[in-house]
Structure 1
Amino acid sequence: MQSADPRHFFETDAEQEKRQRRAAKAGNKYGNPIILKSKILAAVPDPRWPSSALLVAESAGAVRLVKLNDPEDTKTAYRGPTAPVCCVAEGGPESSIVFAGSWDNTVWSWDLATRTPGRKYVGHTDFVKAVVCAKVGGKDLLISGGADKKIMVWDIATGARLHTLQDSEVNMLSIQDLVVDHASSTEGEVSLISASSDPHIRRWKIRLDGWEQVVDTSPEAPGTDRRTILEHETTVYKLVLDHDGDEVDLWTSSGDGTAKCLSRLRNFTCEDTFHHGDHVRAVAVTDQWVITAGRDEDIKFWDRTSGKLYCSLAGHYDEVTELVILRGPGGSGERVCSVSIDGTIRTWPLEKAGLDAAVKEQEKAVDEEKQEVPGEGLLSAEEEAELAALMEDDE
């Protein structure tokens, strides 16, 4: 008889402690968890309900629709892959298609409304880890990045691979994330930014008839070329472009334990650093907050103006893989969703009053747990009386 229970195999003391801690933490209700049956590796808002629904990539090999206002209904899924799905995007004509990159080296697609399987995009030779959509010259494009160190550009309508992007001079490792820089794109050319398992962030210009890697003047050494943006020490997991007034800055999260703001005005050099600690897998930004999360399981809210940590919220009991800002009509009703390898989706407030209430709730729960657990070596009243009687008998 075979078993997958980790307790039936050799475990180090640290592994046992981690498993026990996570088991004890699993039952908490912080962030109103929606519980799925497999690990969640990525998430994006559903374009039909951008303020209340997510499309999530599951390790069980599906993309699942989750409506936050109806958490009991998690049956709607886009199926086909037999390997884990690690990234998801929506796009194509009128954002009508769901795309998912899989461990089977393929990008799958479905009709968003009917869930009918569509074209498969085959060409990568390792896991597909990032997918985004763009439009160039009136043509809808899919752009995928893989663990094979390649970025591929596809014609969505025909499935034809148009280009394969690689850095010919600075060794590029497994692609971790892709983002379209709309502020630098034109009708005939899309600007793309990529992150990978090496610390280099790369920029690309993609046209229908070709592509090029952006090389510009180094801000540290005027007169010399800079082929990549190098502000982190190791893997860059996430890229987020966010408007700050009229300017669009690039936000990053990294395995070096930091999230950074790279200023476009300063040629994408670091303007602010947020020291989250451990691997930072996700970053999200609003006008008020910088939000970070990752391997240490906590969600940290930083004051965007001062750079100071405002609060840290517990809830997840395994690595957080994505943060998604959901905005209601006109920017109302903002909230942030976190998804995790623990299989839960949790929703957190963004207004200070809501965050303060969440902090108090968690502090109260910690105090109650301390009161319920007797101090080490302390005896109950009955045990003390029994011990006193035994001592008298000995006399």
Structure 2
Amino acid sequence: MNQATSSEQFFQTDAEQALQERRAAKAGNKYGNPVVLKSKLLAAVPDPASPSSIFTAESAGSVRRVNVDTGDTKQVYRGPSAPVTCVAVGGPGNKTLFAGSWDKYIWSWDVTSKAPGRKYSGHTDFVKAIVCTKIGGKECLISGGADKKIMVWDIETGARLHVLQDQTVSMMAVQDLVVDPVQSTADSIILVSASSDPHIRRWQITLDGFEQIKEASPDEPGAARHTILEHDTTVYKLVFDRDGEEVDLWTCSGDGTAKCLSRLKGFVPDDSIQHGAHVRAVAVTDQWVLTAGRDEDIKIWDRSSGKLYCTLEGHYNEVTDLIVLDGGNRAVSVSIDGTIRTWPLQRADLDKANKEREDRAAGVEKAAPVEPVEGLMTVEEEAELAALMEED
């Protein structure tokens, strides 16, 4: 072990020190036109009122509205005293901002005025996923927590309508929730949930009740399976994508893969992408599939061939979320490194990024200048964040 040069390094191994040094050296790069914040970014969603803005969930206990074109980061929504893990926009007119927190609450604010709204209490552990929807004409909020429960809330009254739990296959911490845009109706929605176990579950929810949907078995005609089981470990993200007439489900997992689960085939994989490390985020356009996660890089895959087309380098810590903007013409990534980066997705731009990456590997281009970046994580912060991000 190297001799420590500071109190922070005293208990670090050589590998941990090397990792810190590599991240510090990489921190000053300008790839992806970074917007630099002082907090770790754990999730993000688009702002429905602005095509160039997003809302970020921050470990500092706040939500921030960021314009990725202008770099404006001044609009901050405060209240939680613990990390914010997820964020959503909904309610009448999409005028309410919701945030799930490590403090077990779901917070809300008026999007425009930033005035605090109702606080939803019921989970007994971290709130890790939230989504807004309408059921039977009623505006509803659905949340999932590390307490292994999914809760359905009446946004207007704050009443908890349902608590969903798998009674057959033990469910672990909920990681993501998404509403099926095809099978949901005005009176009944189909919710899909992902969790720290490899099982993906579908639920039919009405105002009066809910039931877990049994899936057709891909191996035994006429038989049923209780869950969709196509990954080996934690499923982190669920994304519905319209490709032609189909609306398939894309998933990503700690097993290092992203998969397209075909609706017509009973949600079995139509495509499987081998990203190579924990995949925390997946996004899709008509032309590309984007994956990102623990290895810090964003990988762009050609949908028609399934081959890796481009690797975007820039982040120097785990990428936690991806958003597609402008109808698929660009993507936004957020990371534990505290940066928001924007990437054009036109083929010519990706070809240019490939050439620049090849030049850097060959030593043609000098390394990007290293600039001081506030907020590089200490050993204690690394340990704290690991507890937040790892499987429960």
Report the TM-score, using the length of structure 2 for normalisation. 0.90
> Which residue number corresponds to residue 338 of structure 2?
343
Query: Deviation of residue 246 (structure 1)?
Result: 1.4
Q: Note the 1:68-147 alignment, pairs <5 A.
A: 68-71=68-71, 73-147=72-146
Go from structure 1 to structure 2 and tell me whether the alpha carbon gap of 1:240 and 1:364 turns closer, same or farther (over 3 Å shift).
same
Structure-1 separation of matches of 2:194 and 2:181:
17
> Which residue number corresponds to residue 322 of structure 2?
323
Structure-2 separation of matches of 1:308 and 1:169:
38
Contact 2:257 2:275 in 1 (8 A): yes
Query: Deviation of residue 8 (structure 1)?
Result: 3.8
> Which residue number corresponds to residue 352 of structure 1?
347
Residue identity in the other structure for 1:48: A
Residue identity in the other structure for 2:119: K
Query: Deviation of residue 226 (structure 1)?
Result: 1.0
SS of 1:183 mapped into structure 2: coil
Q: Note the 1:160-199 alignment, pairs <5 A.
A: 160-199=159-198
Query: Deviation of residue 358 (structure 1)?
Result: 1.9
Go from structure 1 to structure 2 and tell me whether the alpha carbon gap of 1:6 and 1:46 turns closer, same or farther (over 3 Å shift).
farther
> Which residue number corresponds to residue 47 of structure 2?
46
Structure-2 separation of matches of 1:106 and 1:34:
28
Go from structure 1 to structure 2 and tell me whether the alpha carbon gap of 1:307 and 1:6 turns closer, same or farther (over 3 Å shift).
farther
SS of 2:82 mapped into structure 1: coil
Higher relative contact order (CA 8 A, sep 6+): 2
Q: Please list every run of 5 or more consecutive structure 2 residues that lacks an aligned counterpart in the other structure.
A: 1-5, 368-392
Structure-1 separation of matches of 2:213 and 2:350:
41
Report the TM-score, using the length of structure 1 for normalisation. 0.89
> Which residue number corresponds to residue 202 of structure 2?
203
Go from structure 1 to structure 2 and tell me whether the alpha carbon gap of 1:6 and 1:97 turns closer, same or farther (over 3 Å shift).
farther
SS of 1:81 mapped into structure 2: coil
> Which residue number corresponds to residue 218 of structure 1?
217
| 1:108-150 per-position Cα deviation (integer Å, ceiling 9, x unaligned) | 0000111110000000000000000110111000000000000
Query: Deviation of residue 370 (structure 1)?
Result: 8.1
> Which residue number corresponds to residue 329 of structure 2?
334
Residue identity in the other structure for 1:132: V
Query: Deviation of residue 6 (structure 1)?
Result: 6.7
Structure-2 separation of matches of 1:78 and 1:238:
25
SS of 1:182 mapped into structure 2: coil
Runs in 1 of length 4+ with deviation above 6 angstroms? 369-372
> Which residue number corresponds to residue 3 of structure 2?
none
Query: Deviation of residue 271 (structure 1)?
Result: 0.8
Contact 2:359 2:365 in 1 (8 A): no
Go from structure 1 to structure 2 and tell me whether the alpha carbon gap of 1:8 and 1:15 turns closer, same or farther (over 3 Å shift).
closer
Structure-2 separation of matches of 1:365 and 1:306:
27
Structure-2 separation of matches of 1:180 and 1:6:
48
Structure-1 separation of matches of 2:7 and 2:181:
47
Q: Identity over aligned residues, as a percent?
A: 67
| 1:305-362 per-position Cα deviation (integer Å, ceiling 9, x unaligned) | 11011111110000000000002xxx3x720001000000001111110111122233
Go from structure 1 to structure 2 and tell me whether the alpha carbon gap of 1:309 and 1:8 turns closer, same or farther (over 3 Å shift).
closer
Query: Deviation of residue 371 (structure 1)?
Result: 7.4
Query: Deviation of residue 68 (structure 1)?
Result: 1.1
> Which residue number corresponds to residue 377 of structure 1?
none
Structure-1 separation of matches of 2:269 and 2:363:
43
SS of 1:101 mapped into structure 2: strand
Residue identity in the other structure for 1:335: R
Structure-2 separation of matches of 1:305 and 1:338:
23
**How many residue pairs were aligned?**
362
Structure-2 separation of matches of 1:292 and 1:6:
36
Structure-2 separation of matches of 1:350 and 1:365:
21
> Which residue number corresponds to residue 237 of structure 1?
236
Root mean square deviation of aligned Cα: 1.4
| 1:219-274 per-position Cα deviation (integer Å, ceiling 9, x unaligned) | 21123221100000000000000001111000000000000000000000011100
Structure-2 separation of matches of 1:165 and 1:283:
26
SS of 2:191 mapped into structure 1: strand
Structure-2 separation of matches of 1:45 and 1:206:
25
Go from structure 1 to structure 2 and tell me whether the alpha carbon gap of 1:371 and 1:352 turns closer, same or farther (over 3 Å shift).
closer
Go from structure 1 to structure 2 and tell me whether the alpha carbon gap of 1:6 and 1:316 turns closer, same or farther (over 3 Å shift).
farther
Structure-1 separation of matches of 2:191 and 2:7:
42
Residue identity in the other structure for 2:334: V
Structure-2 separation of matches of 1:268 and 1:91:
28
Q: Which has the larger radius of gyration?
A: 1
Q: Note the 1:233-382 alignment, pairs <5 A.
A: 233-327=232-326, 331=327, 334-368=329-363
Q: Please list every run of 5 or more consecutive structure 1 residues that lacks an aligned counterpart in the other structure.
A: 373-395
> Which residue number corresponds to residue 385 of structure 1?
none
Structure-2 separation of matches of 1:364 and 1:310:
17
